Chains A and B, each alone.
Chain A
Amino acid sequence: GAGVSQSPRYKVAKRGQDVALRCDPISGHVSLFWYQQALGQGPEFLTYFQNEAQLDKSGLPSDRFFAERPEGSVSTLKIQRTQQEDSAVYLCASSLELGAMNTEAFFGQGTRLTVV
């Protein structure tokens, strides 16, 4: 596709429910990032993939958060037993890294998760 696509755009979950958020990066992009953005705040890093390898998951707030990118393309962020503090916009970004620093990241429009 032309850009990073995320689905669903909006998700309402009952507290305790599991959710799965999908990210389709730009074709051929090696790097994929997940960010969490609370209302009124800047995006906070969650995790990073280079192809299918999850190289950094230091930003995941708890073991209820899990991300995967099994074939090095589409990625899924899963949140188990959702809690109200998980309510946020979840942003996905991809970039054509190839080892170079001076590349830009392209962001999707995000998934707004509301836990009620």
Chain B
Amino acid sequence: DAKTTQPPSMDCAEGRAANLPCNHSTISGNEYVYWYRQIHSQGPQYIIHGLKNNETNEMASLIITEDRKSSTLILPHATLRDTAVYYCIVRVLNTGNQFYFGTGTSLTVIP
């Protein structure tokens, strides 16, 4: 299974961009990078995913390096509601297609 490495915690000032890094140096060519977040006492929520091109949606942007060994999730204007644990996941390609979560990055948005 491709593993991911994330910093355990980060702070970000409200209104500023939050940049959350993720290393996935063993990723295979056909594996996607997914980001989910989990707000306290809720189930994980999908944010964005990508294969090799940068992606943007209404929630965030995903920047994947050319060698695909790392990526960055960008929340352009962090709000207090973005305080959560953010998980970077590499999707394993097998019949299970399960998501392997690590311990994630606990992001705290500071007023």
Which B residues lie at the A interface, using CB under 8 A? 30, 32, 34, 41-46, 49, 51, 85, 87, 91, 93-104
Contacts and interface: CB of A to CB of B under 8 A. Distances in A.
B100 to A, nearest CB: 7
B68 to A, nearest CB: 15
Given A101-B32, A101-B91, A102-B32, A45 B43 contact: no
Interface residues of A, number: 27
Given A48-B98, A97-B97, 15 more contacts: A42-B87, A42-B103, A43-B99, A43-B101, A44-B101, A45-B99, A45-B100, A55-B96, A56-B95, A56-B98, A58-B96, A59-B98, A93-B43, A102-B51, A107-B43
Contacts of B49: 102, 104
A84 B43 CA distance: 22
A108 B93 CA distance: 23
A91 interface: yes
23 contacts: A42-B85, A42-B102, A43-B101, A45-B96, A45-B98, A45-B99, A48-B97, A50-B95, A55-B95, A56-B96, A56-B98, A58-B96, A101-B91, A101-B93, A101-B97, A102-B32, A104-B34, A105-B46, A106-B46, A107-B43, A107-B44, A109-B41, A109-B43
Main secondary structure of the interface of B (DSSP, over half): loop
Interface of A: 4, 31, 33, 35, 41-45, 48, 50, 55-56, 58-59, 91, 93, 97, 101-102, 104-110
